[in-house]
Amino acid sequence: MRLFTAVYPSAEASAHLDLALGSIGGAAVADPGAGLRWTPKEQRHVTLAFHGEAPDGAVPGYATSLAAALALVEPFEVALAGGGSFGGRTLWVGVGEGLPGLRELAAAVGEAAAEAGLRADDRAGGRPHLTLARASASRVAQRGMTSRGMTDRGGSRRPRGRVEEGAPLAAWAHALAVYRGPAWRVTSVHVVASELGAGRSGGPLHRDVAVLALGRG
């Protein structure tokens, strides 16, 4: 199975983010058009480690190792802040408060995965983020083509091939750069199986295989 380990935002944090997105994109959030897919609310997460394809038999051992590692990590506060796009194709919101805690958590996940013989690509050590939407390559290319050869308000020609202003995620990325969300307390970690193409609109289908608490309770 395709496996990753992640932290999920609280319902309040996700609702606050929805309000911000609605104020930026309006109806386009509900109906973005062809070639743009929003992450379902219930699948929004901050990835700690991506494990790739893992045998079913390795999961119980990993969960046991991870539970022991998480017992040494106390719950902490996290808040979403800032945002942007990767390559004009992936819209994301970043993490402000709680970065040290997330990185400590990612390290614990990595150690547990190694003990269980699983790959663990660290996703929280560099730029922890929550993915909001993805645009297809064809949509980015189409918007880029429509921006070529256009003139600005002063009548000057824009440089050919310039795609940033026509990128489908540009308005959201620009506005999210100043986004600040409410903090929530991270008390658990999810180990998730992801089946590509089995979810809504051809997206992945996520299923929890383990939800493990932080601290000793």
Token duo for residue 157: 């020609």
| Options 16, 45, 51, 206, the catalytic residue | 45
Q: Active site includes 190?
A: no
Token duo for residue 158: 């824009």
Q: Active site includes 129?
A: yes
For residue 169, report the phi and psi dihedrals to the nearest 5 degrees. Answer: -105, 5
SS3 of 136, please?
coil
CB 176 within 8 A of CB 129: no
Give the contacts of 127 (CB within 8 A, at least 6 positions apart).
94
Question: 113-143: string of b/e by CB count within 10 Å (b at 16+)?
Answer: beebebebebbbeeebbbbbbbbeeebbeeb
| Options 16, 51, 129, 206, the catalytic residue | 129
Catalytic residue positions, numbered:
45, 129
